[in-house]
Structure 1
């Protein structure tokens, strides 16, 4: 490429003009500070890979929290199904007695005391007997109780609250395999009545 003769004087004038210009000390210091800030940001651990790692760690923590909160909660349907299964099995009682104290003494392998529930008042219900059973893979008490109003016999269960089951379980009723199962919490125990 060739240049015209007119461009040579322009080039030399521009060179003279910019050679005569210089930055003040303040301007040079300001530029140096900007360069240092940019260099620090680039070398800081906030690189794209670091931000991605932090985001993944946060998502993992959130997933673990959600799993802990909801995954650890117990399935009341599974507990009700186990109670319904035990009820339908109609196993014989190991001890026949109308005394909670007698049954508690006999069922001495339980790591809790069998208690008289407030939802089954003695004026309307009578205890017939008890035996061991399993709820949620843990040893529990299976009791036969009789409703004095209807003269019908029902199966009543007491167990320690399974891991993940909240205290203060509100009364709930589920129908499983033709069995109506009522669940509630009382005295730190899970109570279940199968009809």
Structure 2
């Protein structure tokens, strides 16, 4: 009986050690954002000039135009929006930058042709994977409806942040809340990269 107790005790200790080793993260990852959270795409415009229209088709009026390198955000609060066919193109509803507003907003939203369905396929905008600061900005823990709970500040321009997701994403409830992590900075108290929401108006997606 004593022998069994000793063996069982050792096996129990080994089990606990294996369990803890499996669940304790061994590298720096994320401590705040989660991959299963709903999100929408942030795209980088590749066309030299892209018309934003009031509806999904070339028959709708042009309400704005954005140039190469502009960042647009998918306007899909339900996160279940697919492409919409219209004419010879597939369309997405997007937020586009309007300097008179100073942030991504419903007042600056329209439809942008994603790619053509006739002839060789040309994409007007693409997924992005990193973003760099264009002015001083901060990282926050909360996204809806306003950014709050500052955890980091980035005072300089051209500081690169990495997308937390495989492609750059934003919060569906706030197109200004881009999901990023800071692999260049120090770690948080748990040894993870800092990650959170950064104001996309202060960033340039690449």
Report the TM-score, using the length of structure 2 for normalisation.
0.30
Q: If you compute each CA radius of gyration, which structure gives the higher value, 1 or 2?
A: 1
Higher-strand-fraction structure: 2
